[in-house]
Structure formats: structure tokens, C-alpha cells
């Protein structure tokens, strides 16, 4: 096997690196150590974690940059030092709000907004993860950055438990812990993230994922049936089919002429050989030209 994608339903209390390490042991014979994930999930979080195997690691960045979807539970009236339920309570506030008030507050977050990442995050400060400094009791100051909330919907409100569930579709770099805190502020209280489950990553959905324990316990033959091809990572890019000469030249690093009729050019294209094998990604050297060049190619024309 030269490359594939495994969709994992990550369990709670494991880091994304823990999942990668377990999958690396399972697939070491096929891909060696070339295993990676497509976007970190905190140990508290569960849900969709696409794992790239072998040649698929070359295209993982596309998923890192993709929009994400989450189901989150927000707990009202308690702020914690980690912004989630694993931290210590550092402040309390009002807990009684109507459903209409919560929905009105949520609506203010739709669009591009400025968000400050939580102190307990993996972002680096002078080469050290922010969470290391925060755990050591040192002051952590992270710069706010723009993120985009495409949609945010209240799906359940349990007023007696002072918590509610939201469904969020957002851009890369969004911290749902910070979003929970900011929602509390918008309501005139404090809040933290009580639970988180990722449901979408780019074109992948949680419904297609399997629990990690299933992957670890399955036979090699069954796991092979569950794997997705490498080009599933870049399915959003338009497809171009090359002839034998174009295939040979692209794989040898040459530019080729490709008569593309569509004047609206994409930033990248999925390239396929005459026998329908995925070759990698290509682009036009100049947007209005018909000169095609490789962006990133598979090391071999063979796939699993």
C-alpha cells in the first residue's frame, strides 16, 4: 500500500498523537512511519480524525486548511482556567437565560470575527507550547486572530443543568473553547466548554468514520476495505485526465500543454493518467495559459 486515508472516530482522553501512534503500529508494514493526522483534537474532544497513511501525508495540508464542523456543549455560570471542563473554576456568573436570548447571542458570532486562542493551547510562544507556560503558572498572552463562523445553531438547551448544545461550522484555526467563553461574555456571564465532538472536516463526515478500537481490532483485509484512496483528500479540486505522453512528462517534471476550455481556472487540479490512476495535483503555470505543471505528485503511480 502506497497511500490511503483512514477515518477515525477518536475516543475521549486520547491525544491526536496517541491515535497516530496506534495507527502507525497497525500500518507499519505497509507505510513505515509515514502516518499523520489532519487537524488536532484535544483529549477532551471526540469525533472525526482523518489519518493519512504513506503517500497521503503529502496532501494532508488540504484538510488542515479545510472548514470544520463541531457539536459542542457550553456550560453557563462557570469559568475555568483551561476554558473547558477539565480546568479549575476561577469565576462564576448568572445561569438563567431564555432560549431566545441564547439564540440572539449566537447570531452575533456568524461571519468573520476576532478570536483570542486559549492560554491552554499548543500555539508556540518563544518555541514552547502555550499550555506548558500556563501549567507552570506563567502569564500567557496570545494575539487575537480572525476566524470565520459560517453557521452556529442552538440544538438543545437544558436550562436546569445550565448548559446548551450548539452545532458550529467554522474555518480552520477556530478554538471552540474560546468560542464558548466568548458566548458566555456575550450573554453577560461566564461559561466554558463542557463537551466537543467533531463532525466534519472538509469533505469528510463523522458518519463515515469508525471507532479507533474497530481499526485496531480488525483484520488486515477488513481494514483495507475501510480505507479511502489518496485523492479523497483533494476531491474538491477539478479533475484533468492526461494521455500517456502527458502522464510521462508530468511525472518527469516537465510542463505539458493541456487545452482547457473553461476560462475560470482553479488553483489546483487532480491529475489522472490514461489508466485512471491518481497522479497528484497540478496547476497552470500562468492562469490564462494552457501550460500545465505539477504541484505535488505521488511517488509512484500505484495505489492500494
Return the active site residues: 42
Residue holding cell 500545465?
292
Report d(CA 86, CA 295) in Å as an integer: 43
| Helix (H/G/I), strand (E/B), else coil: 2 | coil
Grid cell at residue 250? 508530468
DSSP 71-107: EEEEEESEEETTSBTTS-EEEE------HHHHHHHHH
Three-state secondary-structure class, residue 266: coil
H/E segment holding residue 282: strand 278-284
Cβ contact 179:145 at 8 Å:
no
Whether the Cβ atoms of residue 51 and residue 23 lie closer than 8 Å to each other: yes
Pairing mode of beta strands 239-241, 269-272: parallel
Dist CA 233 CA 42 (whole Å): 22
C-alpha dist (Å) from residue 261 to 64, 226, 238, 280? 31, 37, 13, 21
Q: Which residues contact 144 (CB under 8 A, 6 or more apart)?
A: 114, 115, 116
Amino acid at each position: 500500500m502506497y497511500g490511503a486515508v483512514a477515518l477515525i472516530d477518536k475516543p475521549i482522553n486520547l491525544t491526536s498523537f496517541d491515535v497516530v501512534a496506534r495507527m502507525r503500529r497497525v500500518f507499519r508494514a505497509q507505510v513505515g512511519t509515514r502516518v499523520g493526522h489532519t487537524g488536532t483534537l484535544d483529549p477532551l474532544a471526540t469525533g472525526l480524525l482523518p489519518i493519512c497513511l504513506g503517500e497521503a501525508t503529502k496532501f494532508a495540508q488540504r484538510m488542515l486548511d479545510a472548514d470544520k464542523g463541531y457539536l459542542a456543549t457550553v456550560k453557563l455560570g462557570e469559568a475555568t482556567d483551561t476554558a473547558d471542563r477539565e480546568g479549575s473554576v476561577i469565576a462564576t456568573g448568572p445561569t438563567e437565560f431564555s432560549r431566545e436570548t441564547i439564540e440572539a447571542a449566537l447570531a452575533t458570532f456568524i461571519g468573520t470575527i476576532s478570536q483570542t486562542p486559549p492560554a491552554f493551547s499548543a500555539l508556540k510562544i518563544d518555541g514552547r507550547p502555550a499550555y506548558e507556560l500556563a501549567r507552570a503558572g506563567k502569564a500567557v498572552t496570545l494575539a487575537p486572530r480572525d476566524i470565520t463562523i459560517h453557521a452556529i445553531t442552538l440544538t438543545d438547551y437544558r436550562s436546569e443543568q445550565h448548559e446548551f448544545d450548539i452545532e458550529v461550522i467554522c474555518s480552520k484555526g477556530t478554538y471552540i473553547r474560546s468560542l464558548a467563553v466568548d458566548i458566555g461574555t456575550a450573554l453577560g456571564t461566564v461559561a466554558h466548554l463542557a463537551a466537543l465532538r467533531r463532525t466534519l472536516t472538509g469533505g469528510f463526515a463523522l458518519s463515515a468514520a469508525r471507532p479507533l478500537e474497530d481499526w485496531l481490532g480488525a483484520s488486515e483485509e477488513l481494514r483495507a476495505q475501510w480505507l479511502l484512496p489518496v485523492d479523497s483528500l483533494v476531491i474538491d479540486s477539478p479533475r484533468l485526465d492526461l494521455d500517456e505522453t502527458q502522464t510521462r512528462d508530468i511525472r518527469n517534471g516537465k510542463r505539458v500543454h493541456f487545452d482547457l476550455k473553461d476560462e475560470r481556472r482553479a488553483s489546483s487540479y487532480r491529475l489522472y493518467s490514461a489508466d485512471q490512476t491518481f497522479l497528484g495535483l497540478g496547476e497552470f503555470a500562468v492562469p490564462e495559459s494552457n501550460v500545465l505543471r505539477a504541484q505535488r505528485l505521488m511517488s509512484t503511480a500505484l495505489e492500494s
